[in-house]
Amino acid sequence: MKNSFTIPRNMLDGLECFLHVAEQRSFRAAADQLGVSPSAISQTIRQLEDRIGVPLFIRTTRSVGLTEAGLRFHAQAAPAWASLIAAWEDTRTLGEGPSGLLRLNMPRAVVRLVMEPIIADFCATYPEIDVEIAAEDAIIDLAASGHDAGIRIGELLEADMISVRISSPFRYAIVATPAYLDRHGRPQTLADLKGHDCIRQRLSSGTGLFPWRFSDGNRSIEANVKGRIIVNDHTTVAALAERGLGLAQISEPLVERQLAERRLETVLDHLAPTSPGLFLHYPGHAQVLPKLRAFIDFLKAALAAGTLPYLTD
């Protein structure tokens, strides 16, 4: 059954005035505290009593006291008002300087690339900011989930997000260990993939598998490859490829070290598609809270200083 109760308009009008009079037991003293005239205090209290429907004060020429209704009202209104003031002050401080809980969402693989190298220094620099990292590959609604920002590749960003580039464009490479390629051969065409074990990845929705994407000039190609191993995140794809279990398609920043150390090598480079790169993104608020602004600036500084060795600004 639908509740028909609604909060009256201007319900809190006069509450602060009532509390001052109740605590001082004086209209004049309350007026002095609030910087208004005693007549203004008296009028405000009358209007409050009219809205509530009962007298709150006993007034004589010598004193001011609380009625039974006034005592009950004061007993509940005073702590509620104190809580409102505390909520106001606590919330207001979030706009004064970097503080509060910063909630970030990003794929598991990006945690290693972005957060692990900088999290300790960021927390030391901003001790008033707590950081919560949700590592998941699924695309989520940041606003609905209560996250301040996320990190995703450019092709997955929603149009209504504000985005900050944190990497150059990069390729999706086909990689494998030299030993695997020596045993099974180095594919030269897409048709050659049929003779290989390909490490596949399930979509975050769980309803299917990521197709492998290729680029032939201006033509985009999707290929449904075969393989015995299926995983659900990029980090595991890279780890299994490094163990020689097959070919894998993965973003190059995730395996840059392995490629540099020749633990992995690329094939079919002429067909590798390009991603716009990684972006930090967040809902379009009129004002970015200082905690998020601090993180954005810290991340940009880390990129410029080379603290994130596998990303470039």
Q: Are residues 145 and 231 in the same domain?
A: no
Q: Are residues 150 and 205 in the same domain?
A: no
Q: Note the pLDDT of residue 14.
A: 84
Q: What is the CATH number of the domain that holds 24?
A: 1.10.10.10
Structural domain boundaries, residue 296 = 100-163+281-305
Question: How many domains does the chain divide into?
Answer: 3
- Position 10 in a domain: no
Structure tokens at 86: 């505390």
Q: Are residues 265 and 183 in the same domain?
A: yes
Q: Which long-range contacts (CB under 8 A, 24 or more apart) does 69-77 make?
A: 70/22, 73/18, 74/18, 74/19, 74/22, 77/15, 77/18, 77/19
Q: What is the pTM assigned to this prediction?
A: 0.68
Q: Are residues 192 and 252 in the same domain?
A: yes
Q: Write out pLDDT tens, residues 199-250.
A: 999 987 777 898 999 999 889 999 989 999 999 888 899 999 999 999 999 9
Q: Write out pLDDT tens, residues 161-204.
A: 888 898 889 999 999 999 999 999 999 999 999 989 999 999 87
Q: Note the pLDDT of residue 145.
A: 85
pLDDT at position 5 over 80: no
Looking at per-residue pLDDT, the higher value among 173 and 86 belongs to 173
Q: Distance between CA 25 and CA 183 in Å, rounded? A: 93
Q: Note the pLDDT of residue 7.
A: 47
- Position 132 in a domain: yes
Q: What is the mean pLDDT of residues 39-52?
A: 89
Q: Are residues 152 and 106 in the same domain?
A: yes
Q: Note the pLDDT of residue 1.
A: 44
In terms of Cβ atoms closer than 10 Å to its own Cβ (0-12, 13-18, 19+), residue 61 is exposed
